[in-house]
Amino acid sequence: MKLFVGLGNPGDKYRANRHNIGFMAVDRIADRHGFGPWRKKFQGLMSEGTIGGERVTLLKPETYMNESGRSVGEAQRFLKIPLSDVYVFHDELDLAPGKVKVKVGGGNAGHNGLRSITAHIENDYKRVRLGIGHPGSKDAVVYYVLNDFAKSERGWLDALLDAVSDAATYLAKGDDARFLSDVALKSQSEQDKPESAPQQPRPQPKASAPHPAGERASKRQSALAENLKKWLSSRKSGDENR
């Protein structure tokens, strides 16, 4: 069995925050692979199902980010899952938006959720690092991660979440390398799809130029009408002088 943990903060206030991309990832996995309903357990929300024939438990800690380890530790010990089968999905400032990396252990790079998990289950679990980019200044990090994804970011975000959920089959089988290559291929192909071209206005028909023969006939008719008018006028004058 694998334990897939998504990191984030509970509640509508934080739902669309960059810091909650871990929650978004496991939600998309649950939808994509037909998992059972979420239920309260292990100080969080848990859902169970299978991916590619492998049993997987999804977990979203509700202890808030800084205390994520309390929930993860309780689940990992109760389910007796080895650290090598624990995957934690989290936001990563040091990766460009839409990029994904998987690593085992290592530093926590100032991520309080990872620091809490390490304190409760040690360090050798797997991290699925979901790139959100860096705001450019250390002072801006808290504001950046605790704010919603911008409208302009939703294209790559949806492409990434779809790719991660589709490729989760390889994580469930322990094939991290294939997971990464599949995510890169699928997310890039989604982002490269051309947008629907705007409909061009239908050109208005141009007024056709008069045909030379028709123009000559029209001039002759005008001359005849003028002559007829003069003749009638002269007849009238003659009648009046009689």
Catalytic residue IDs: 19
Count of C-beta atoms within a 10 Å radius of residue 194: 5
Structure token pair of residue 35: 């998992």
3-state secondary structure of 87: strand
**Amino acid (one-letter) located at 13:** K
Cα(140)–Cα(2) distance, rounded to whole angstroms?
A: 35
Q: Which parts of 93-175 fold into alpha helices (H)?
A: 112-121, 141-145, 154-172
Q: What is the largest CA-CA distance in the chain?
A: 132
Cα(135)–Cα(149) distance, rounded to whole angstroms?
A: 12
Partnered with residue 51 across adjacent β-strands are 54
